[in-house]
Every structure is written in structure tokens, then in C-alpha cells.
Structure 1
């Protein structure tokens, strides 16, 4: 038997991987006990199998008692195992809570040191601010803990004993697929090199990562805000997209990409429902809060990590354009605000879109993008093309200069080498002719 808790000089130490592994495995052993008991009871030898003689009758009675005693022993073992599983789950939950509190404390300690002085060099921690490396270390522990917890949820779902989902078998199958995908995302995060600046697994999940370095020498930072229908489970695609700019920037200008998904990006469609549209994806239910949150991140967290001359661009795709509009109006400390294939800027009057940071606004919508039908309507606010002084850039052609179909164009804005991808890259690096290929 494995010792999941070992004594040490400081008390007891928990071997966490073995502990969480046992919590996942023991329910399988409980099922083995159930199956054995059911097989034992189901295969009792009928009384007619014994001849009508005294010795045979005694043998039959002994056999029945043996089956009954063994079945009772298996039931008792199952009850004891259930008790052990319950206690171990409690222990595992306590360990997770303790680790989470420790990780939160590490981040808080870094934040508390802001008042401690230092020379204030961007991103080096000397001003008491938690550095990207500090945040990454603490949040990776949170991801590992969340993965352990999600594995337990998945095991319970598979065994049909989960309290996390109540519904039809089809609903349960979707919940299993969603849980499996979430675990794959956590594996991806822990195996990758993206710096995890923020992480919260609750609900659809929230995450902010940086691909590349954030320090005083960073030349260009691109903050990417995705559109509707995004959650923790779609994060790997967003990271892959952001890396295409980092890979090109390493060769010609230096780019760090930030994937900002620290909020609710509402669904446009309801999974498993005949209703084709979800109103949250059409209205501004989440956009105003997203705008406030991304503004706070850029102004108070990102800017202190980089140099005074670092160029910061915020690129919002689709639904996120409304969030960017709210942030921009409130005062977003960005050199560039890019409204990429957005249905609107959130606010009704583009003349109110001004701040004290000299932000240059850019806008792109392909001529055949259906999202253009929503621009200027009452759902998402004014069209970005109506912003005073906006630089309107082209989109709609792939890397071979072919026109992208109306069915694909909206989600092709970040296809490497495409017309829109080149324009995004040029805005990030402030290429002298922003419409030219670098």
C-alpha cells in the first residue's frame, strides 16, 4: 500500500501525485467490488442441483451460506472503501485549497511590495511589483491543481456518479467531452512556454498569457482580445494564432503577444439546442465589463512590466470590438487600438472615442464579411469606420491574393500571410507604410 502522507521534521508531507492518483483510481476498485458481488450472487447454484440426500442437502446449504457470507463481506468492503474514498477526497480538496492559498499569497506578497521602493525598472520586480516570472510560477501551480480537480470530475462523470452535471445521457456525453478538452488545455499550458499572468478555472475559465518577453527591452506588445464563443477550451487556438506574430517579429522587429481572455466571451449559439442564436452574443451583456477589465490590465499591470518606449497595440476581433470601444473611451494607454472585423464599438457616438494617450485607431472589415450587416446598428454601437481619424485597412484576400468566401472570411483575419494578417502585423510594429508587406 502506498503511503500518501509521510512524516517529516515539519509534520506531515503529502505526496500529492499519489494522493490525487488514488482519488482517481479508488472508484474503479469500488466498481470491481460491485461487479464481483453481483457475479457471485447471480451465479448461485440452485437447490435442485443437489440430490435429495442428506449429505447433498447439507452441501447445498453450506454453499448458500458461503455465497451469503462472501456477498456480505464484499458489501462491507465496499462500504469501507466508500468511507476511504470520501476521506481521501476531503484530504485532496484540503491540499488543493492549501496550494491555491499559497499561490495566491505569493502573488499578493509581490503586489504588496509595490510600496517597498526600488528603482522602478520595468518588469524587474525591483519596484515591488510581481514580475511575469513570479506570476507564471504561481499560476502554473494553480493550473496543476485545476488539472487534478478536473481529472476527478471527469472520473465521476464517466462513472455516472457526478454531481457536477445532471441531465440526459447526451448532456453527460457533452460534459465528458468538455472535461476531457479542459484537461488537454491544462496539459498544453503546463507543457508550453507561454507565461501565465492570470488564471481562474471557474466557469468557462479565465486566462491571460504572454508569448515572448515582457521587460524594459520589449519593443512591441500585441494584446489580442478574441470574439464571442471563446472560453478556456479555445485558448490553444488563440495562443497558436498569437505565436504567428511572435515568430515573424523575432526575425524582423521583436513582438511579444499577450492573449487576453480574462472575462466572459458569450456564446453565439447554444450547444445542443435548436435555438440558433444566443442573445448574449448579440447584445453588450459582457462587453462593458470586459472593456473595464482590459483597460485596467493594460494601464496598471502591463505598462509597468515594459519600457516607456514599448509600443502597445490592443487588437479586438468581432464581439470584443465593443469591449475595446468602452476601454478606449475610458482611457486606454495603448499606442494603437485595432477594431478587427467588429460589429460595432459599443458606444453610439464615435466622436466620444478620445483619450489622453494619443491612441491611433485602426479598423478592418472585409467587403463580404456578414458582420458588416451589424455595423452602425443598435446592437453593438457605432461602426469603427465612423471614428474620427480612423485608419481603415483592407481585408478579405488570402496569402495567394484570392478572395476569401463570405462563409470563411470573418474567422480568417489571422490566417498567416493573408491581407488582414499583414495589416495586423504592420500595426503592431508601426511599419512606416502600414498597408505594405514588411
Structure 2
């Protein structure tokens, strides 16, 4: 118990020092009379996160203050800039982002004559109000004093809305989880998705007391809203460059020895993670797929990861097991009318909609167990999958 208490006190002390440093950085100019000055140059739009990190490290405190105060939109989304600076910049933008959503809501409040246009307006108004509710919930979490501290690393209310938020400081943690949610995830759902990341973080704290961990909700892509969209890979492929850069940015801005980085994809989010690893590579020490309809490859070796660092779990009652290609569904339909039907259903199949089932032994990954909690229950208390995810994040 004394070791656990010592570890908890050490983490609390580090958080207090960081909070004091952040407050000092924001208030030094006002207290001491220092001025902020614009930097002489900025990295090109195509600069990689490592180059961005070197540029930021070479700036003076006055130049950094100027950039955060005058160009928060640039700083807030620049992979390779330290998490604390991105958070400061995005918090400056938060009220304006909310006003964008509120303005959309005001425009939608004007009723239209009865008909399809009015039905569409009502549906869109409900979506915007839900997004506002979600954004307000995120704002309350950002303002909350409880540990772990929340960091806002990206926010865009356009369309369905996008957000990147961390619990705990990824630049300082020894283990970092990036969680990519799946179909229908948007700004309205973000508080619930952040709660899933928080549950993994809680289990990490219980299983590894004294080990500093952080979890990031990465919802910086246009997740499919309907099944016809989710049956295509376009949105996953479009997300690849941004997820690749984000992970590279975590490496570039991390303090001290490299963290153990784990990227976890749920449902369509696993397609995003798999195709990003396949097409661009992912700066990660482990990949985790839960409730996956396939990840775009036939074997774990195609994901550019070290052997033994690709993990998967699919609950026995997860409906994603039915996400099979048309030819497989047709074969099963034919077999269902024969005496072989029950046996074929029991044997299942290897192929899912986006390739071989990553939880199948032939995929070449490693499996961890899940209870019978359906497609969205991997984070339920008592589900062994939750401890499995936490153990992978911790490198156990």
C-alpha cells in the first residue's frame, strides 16, 4: 500500500507542477511586462511533426505566447507541438466554436412550410442541438478540476463535428492509448466515447498504480452515419493521413524516453486503424481491434507491426460477426436450406466485410477474451475485455 500511495503522490505532484507551469506561461507577460513577439518564420504546410517539433523547441517563450494568442487555430491542430500549447490554443477557440454551432441552430429555428424540406430541417435541428449538448459536456470536462486533467487537441464543429481530446498528458505519460471510435461517432457522441477511453485509463490505474498513463479520443474523421457508408472503405482511407500524422506528432512532442503507444479501433474505427497501418504506417507499439468487421488485410503481418503486437477481441454475441461479404452470405443462405446449415453456422467463417477476421487464429494476431456484452459492451465493468485492453496499454 505504501508503494501505491507513493506513486499516487508522485503523479499528483507532477500534475500540480504542470498546472503551475501552464499558469505561469499564460500570465508571465501580464505580471512581468514581457511582450509577445511574432516568430520570424513558420514551418511549411507539408512539414512533418518531427520538423514542427524542432521548430517549436527553437522558439522563444515570447514567440510561443504570440502564436498561441494570435494564431490559435494554427497551433491548436499542429501535430508535433506540445500538448499543453495545443490545449491552450484550442481553449481560446472553444467559445467561438460553440458560437458556430449556436449560429447554425438559430438559422434552423425558422420553420418552413410542411413538406420534405421541413422534415429535413427538424432532423438537422435535432442533430445540431445534440452536438451543442455534446460540446457543452466536453466543456464541463475541460473545466473540471478532477484528475486526470483533460487536454483539448482539436475541435471542429463543421458537419457532424470532430474532436481530439486527451485525459492525462500524452507528452509525459509512459503509456498512451489512442482510441478511434466507429460508425455514427460524432460531436454529440464524443462525451460517451471519451468515457470509454476513461474506463480503460481507470483500469490502467488499478492494474499499474504509480504508472502514468494517458488516453486520447481521436475522432478526427468523418465516421459513417449509415450502413451503406459503413460498407465502403472510403472514409477509413480518407482518415489515414491524419491519424498517421497524429501518432507521429505524439512521438515528436513526447518528453523523455518514448512512451508505449497503443492505437485501438472499435467497429469501423478498426477499419480506420488497420488501413492507416497498412497504407501509411502507424507510430505505435501495439494495435488493438475490438468488434471489428475486418481491418483491410488478410494477415497481421501486413500491418507493419512487430510480431505479437496486434491484438483483437470479438464478443460471442457481437452482431459484427454477421458483417460478411455478399458471396459468403449467399453461401450461408444456400446451406441454411440443407442439413449442413446448422454445422456451417457453428463453424462460422474467416472472411468479414473488410478482410479476414482479426480475432481468427489464422489472422496471425493475438486474441484476448470478451464476455457476452454485444457490440458496444467491451468497456462494461466486469467485461474481461476491459482489463485486456488496459493490460495491452501497459505492455503486459
TMscore range, shorter length: 0.5 to 0.7
Name which of structure 1's ranges 285-294 and 256-265 shifts more when overlaid on structure 2: 285-294
Report the CA distance shift for 1:139/1:333 in structure 2 as closer, same or farther (over 3 A). Answer: same
- Structure 2: state its 5+ residue gaps: 1-38, 44-48, 66-78, 143-149, 325-349
Query: Is residue 343 from structure 1 mapped to residue 293 from structure 2 by the alignment?
Result: yes
Could you say which residue in structure 1 is the equivalent of 2:90?
139
Matches within 5 A, 1:56-205: 114-115=54-55, 129-160=80-111, 167-193=116-142, 194-205=150-161
Q: Which moved more, 1:323-332 or 1:421-430?
A: 323-332
Q: Verify the 8 A CA contact 1:318 1:343 in the aligned structure 2.
A: yes
Deviation at 1:322?
A: 1.7
Residue 323 of structure 1: aligned partner: 272
Q: Deviations over 1:138-187 (max 9, x none)?
A: 212333112112222222322338xxxx9443322222221211222222
Equivalent residue for 1:23?
none
Root-mean-square deviation (Å): 3.1
Instruction: Report what 1:417 is aligned to.
Output: 382
Residues 210-264 of structure 1, C-alpha deviations (whole Å, 9 max, x = no match): 0111234x12111101111111111010111111222333452332110001111
Identify which of 228, 234, 258 aligns with 2:189: 234
Q: Structure 1 residues 370, 378: closer, same or farther in 2, change over 3 A? A: closer
Q: Secondary structure at the match of 1:339?
A: strand
**2:194 counterpart of 1:246:** no
Q: Does 1:391 align with 2:369?
A: no
3-state DSSP of counterpart to 1:232: coil
What's the CA shift string for 1:349-378, capped at 9, x where partnerless?
5442334x6670101111222212336447
**Cα pair distance change 1:345/1:233, threshold 3 Å:** same
Q: 2:167 matched to which residue of 1?
A: 211
Unaligned runs of 5+ in 1: 1-104, 269-277, 398-402, 432-438
Please give the residue correspondences for 1:265-276 in structure 2 after superposition, counting only pairs within 5 Å: 265-268=223-226
More contact order relative to length (CA 8 Å, sep ≥ 6): 2
User: Residue deviations 1:281-332, cap 9 Å, x none?
Assistant: 1121211222332122112345533543411111111112222112222322
Counterparts of 1:295 and 1:265 in 2: how far apart (Å)? 17
Q: Normalised by the size of structure 1, how large is the TM-score? A: 0.61
- Structure 1 residues 388, 137: CA separation in 2 closer, same or farther (over 3 Å shift)? same
- Secondary structure of the corresponding residue to residue 246 of structure 1: helix
What is aligned with 2:394?
Answer: 429
How far off is 1:113 after superposition? 7.1
Specify whether residues 391 and 195 from structure 1 end up closer, same or farther in structure 2 by C-alpha distance, changes over 3 A only.
Answer: same
CA distance in 2, matches of 1:386, 1:233: 37
**C-alpha contact 1:346 1:380 (8 A) present in aligned 2:** yes
Shift of 1:387: 6.2
- Partner deviation per Cα, 1:25-74 (whole Å, 9 max, x = no partner): xxxxxxxxxxxxxxxxxxxxxxxxxxxxxxxxxxxxxxxxxxxxxxxxxx
Q: Contact conserved, 1:226 with 1:318, CA < 8 A, in 2?
A: yes
Asked whether the 8 Å contact 1:219–1:309 carries over to 2, the reply is: yes
Counterpart pick for 1:281 among 223, 230, 233:
230
Partner of 1:279: helix, strand, or coil? helix
Q: Report SS of the residue matched to 1:209.
A: strand
2:220 alignment partner in structure 1? 262
**1:322–1:381 Cα contact (<8 Å) kept:** no
Is the contact between residue 246 and residue 254 of structure 1 (CA under 8 Å) also seen in structure 2? Answer: no
- Alignment-derived partner of residue 381 in structure 1: 355
Once residues 117 and 177 of structure 1 are traced to their aligned partners in structure 2, the CA distance between those partners, rounded to angstroms, is 44
Determine the C-alpha separation between the residues in 1 that align with 2:362 and 2:282. Answer: 16
